[in-house]
Amino acid sequence: MLDKFERNVIITALTVSALFIFSIFYALGAKRQDVSECLPYNKTYETARVEQIDAKTYQIYYVARMWNFEPAISYIPVGSEVDLFVTSLDVVHGFNVFDKNVNLMAVPGGVAKTTVKFTEPGVYKIVCHEFCGTGHQNMEAEIIVNYPRK
């Protein structure tokens, strides 16, 4: 049915794809790379706040609305592990933390969650990357990582 070369081509294609799929599982296990979690929603996510759980663990609850994020500025000590929760009160917004591989969607009625560790001091800008109306290009926030200064 297929000649030798055709068969080799199909086997090569399958092998390359298998390699990619293996890489996903490798990243999931060894590198702890995961996507947004699926959490049950409740009203408490609609209150913007920064909470300290212990010396090195923080939780930031972001609330997006046209055209700002709250909290606009959060202070986090160097070396903290931070849970980010993001929701929206009006339309769909995007949430991208510069340099941190955090990339979430803020959707009304849903809460996106991820965990990120800040090991370097600096100002981490957050921009909205989903079109959310005429003020979209103004929508940003900051996480300032240097507090308390070491």
Partner 1 sequence: MQVSRPIRNILLIELFVPILLLTLGIYHGLMQVIYRSGVIQRTSVAGLDYYQGLTLHGVINAIVLTTFFAVAFGHATMIFYTKREPNKTATLVSMLLMVIGTGLAAAAILAGKASVLYTFYPPLKAHPAFYIGTAMLIVGSWIPYFDWVRMYLSWKREHPQESTPVAVIGTLVNFTIWFVCTLAVAYEVLVMLVPWSLGWTQEINIMLARTLFWFFGHALVYFWLLPSYIMFYTMLPKLAGGKLYSGNAGRIAFFIFLILSIPIGVHHQFGDPSIGRGVKLTQSILTFGVAIPSFITAFTIAASLEYAARKRGATGLWSWIWKLPFFRKDVYLFGYLINGLILFIFGGLTGLVNASYSLNNVVHNTSFIPGHFHLTVGGPVFLAILGMSIYMLSQLTGKRIYAPVLNTIVPYLWTVGVLIFSAGLMYGGLIGEPRRTNMGLTYLNPSSEQFNPYWVVSSMLGLAGGGIMFTAGLLYFISFFGTCFRRRSAEPVIDLPVSETLHEERRVPLLDSFKPWLAIMGLIIFLTYAPAISDAINNTNRKAPPYKPTDPVPVVRQ
Enumerate binding residues for partner 1 (CB under 8 A): 1-3, 5-6, 9-10, 12-14, 16-17, 20-21, 23-24, 27-28, 31, 33-42, 65-67, 86-87, 90-92, 94-96, 98-99, 101-105, 107-113, 125, 127-134, 136-138, 140
**In the complex with partner 1, which residue's Cβ is closer, 41 or 147?**
41
| Residue 130 · residue 86 · CB < 8 Å | no
Which residues face 94 on adjacent strands?
Answer: 105
Least separation in angstroms between residue 1's CB and partner 1 is 6
At residue 99's C-alpha, the angle toward residues 94 and 100, to 5°, is 70
Measured CA to CA, the distance from residue 79 to residue 45 in angstroms comes to: 25
Least separation in angstroms between residue 92's CB and partner 1 is 5
**In the complex with partner 1, which residue's Cβ is closer, 34 or 51?**
34
| Residue 92 · residue 112 · CB < 8 Å | no
